[in-house]
């Protein structure tokens, strides 16, 4: 039987207790447990909606909520990077070269579909 050796209370731990608990909560909320719970929620919502016991709108709220919960790290990164970035640099001006003159315009009364409905026998 192996005996687990606990670190001394007088020696500092590798990570503070708060950091350890934060990493545990993060792993629980965004890990396999959260994915399994979201899968079960979507399956249950789908079953209840198919049997007519749950309105479709409420089911969509649950599905969107699962996407938000599982996509929270990506959303936070996107919002954080958008806040930190400065305004994008203006695009360089487009260098315009010499243009050839435009050809003659069609007359104002020109209709390309004028003879489309006429029979030609």
Residue 120 has pLDDT above 80, yes or no: no
Rg of the chain, C-alpha, whole Å? 32
- Give 54-98 pLDDT, tens digit per residue: 998 999 999 999 998 888 888 888 888 877 766 667 778 777 777
Where in the chain are the domains?
29-81
DSSP letter assigned to residue 40: H
Per the prediction, the chain carries an average pLDDT of 79
**What pLDDT, on the 0 to 100 scale, is given for residue 33?**
85
Distance, in Å, from the CA atom of 59 to the CA atom of 13, rounded to the nearest integer, reads 46
**Per the confidence metrics, is the pTM higher than 0.75?**
no
């Amino acid at each position: 039987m192996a005996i687990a050796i606990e670190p001394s209370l007088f020696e500092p731990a590798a990570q503070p207790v708060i950091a350890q608990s934060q990493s545990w909560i993060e792993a629980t909320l965004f890990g396999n447990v959260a994915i399994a719970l979201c899968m079960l929620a979507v399956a249950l919502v789908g079953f209840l909606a198919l049997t007519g016991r749950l309105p479709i709108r409420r089911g969509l709220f649950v599905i969107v909520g699962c996407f938000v919960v599982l996509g929270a790290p990506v959303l936070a990164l996107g919002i954080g990077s958008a806040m930190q970035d400065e305004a994008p640099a203006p695009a360089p001006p487009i260098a315009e070269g010499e243009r050839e003159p435009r050809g003659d315009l069609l007359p104002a009364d020109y209709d390309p579909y004028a003879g489309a409905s006429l029979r030609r026998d």
